[in-house]
Amino acid sequence: MTGLSLLPPLIPLRALGLGLLVFSLAFGPGPKLNAARFGDFSYGLYILHFPIINALVALGLFGPPAWRGWLLAPALVLLASGVLWHLVEKPFLRQSSHYRQSENRQSIAKHKA
């Protein structure tokens, strides 16, 4: 009998525990984290996690011992999303961006026509 055979009955408890942890962090007492000050990395996390994890799997970093992949994947994904935010997304979202100005000029021209 392996240790893994004991895990299936604990799955509902793990899900409940994670839900309670998230709820207590969101609504519990104590200082609130101002996530907005870190920028919006969510799109970067979404778009980059899959290729980075697949690259690490292809390099064999999730094979035994798997801890290397589990430590490296979040670090690389967070780093890459931060770089993507600061070098690509943030400049495009600025009001003074020439991409936005060009878009605004086109929409004004359409409304005048």
Query: Which residue's entry shows tokens 């020439």?
Result: 98
State the Cα–Cα distance between residues 3 and 59, nearest whole angstrom.
28
> For residue 10, what pLDDT is reported?
78
pLDDT tens per residue across span 11-63: 888 889 999 999 998 888 877 766 666 667 888 999 999 999 999 999 999 98
pLDDT at 80: 96
pLDDT at 54: 97
- pLDDT(76) > 80: yes
Residue appearing with tokens 């005048």: 112
In sequence order, the 6+-apart residues with CB closer than 8 A to the CB of 53 are: 69, 73, 77
